[in-house]
A = this chain, B = another copy of it.
């Protein structure tokens, strides 16, 4: 089994590293980071680059595709080299997945039409423009398409997927090894839980960034 995690300029690191940390422990699987050109790919903050070991052209039929999100996604919504690759890879995947605004790239590739899916809470309106039906859950499955909510939701998506691939017992072992017993010091991780003025402020900022 080959698991391909697709990076691009200005992706969000945790979107990719969350599922990676879980899925790279799949038995008998190879995990590979890919980008249009192999080499370092810079994250949205500019403070970090992740190495990709292979180009898209070198990875033609992965079993699992993971597409992270991040501000760089918006520049790629009509970028044929990536969208063509996603369509081609999807033709033979067992699982096609995304985290955060990665689902907008799957949508732009035409892969989510008529499907249940999710995205970062700030991007669910845009997701529906691609014919997807937003389901307000942290991890949404529709057949082989598994999409996660914003950034950190990729860890939950990774564990959900690992359970399906390798069984619940194995996924629990990985959860224990990663000591994934989250205890955030605040309870502000979703727009339904955070104070309304913080939600409004982020919505306003996002409108500005995306316009």
List the interface of chain A (C-beta within 8 A of B). Answer: 12-14, 17-18, 20-21, 24-25, 30-33, 40, 45, 47-51, 53, 100, 120-121, 138-139, 149-153, 155-156, 159-160, 163, 168-169, 171-173, 175-186, 188-191, 193-195, 198-199, 201-202
Decide: B179 and A182 in contact? CB cutoff 8 A: no
Q: Considering the complex of A and B, which 10 residue pairs feature the smallest CB-CB distances, nearest first?
A: A150-B179, A181-B189, A182-B182, A172-B188, A49-B51, A14-B21, A31-B47, A181-B190, A17-B17, A180-B189
Residues of B within 8 A of A163 (CB): 185-186
A21, B25: Cβ atoms closer than 8 Å: no
Copy count, this protein chain? 2
Whether B50 contacts A179 by the Cβ 8 Å rule is no
Contact of A173 among B14, B25, B156, B198 (CB under 8 A): B198
A133 to B100, CA, bound (A): 39
Interface centre among A152, A153, A193 (most CB of B within 10 A): A152
Nearest chain-B residue to A190 (Cβ)? B181
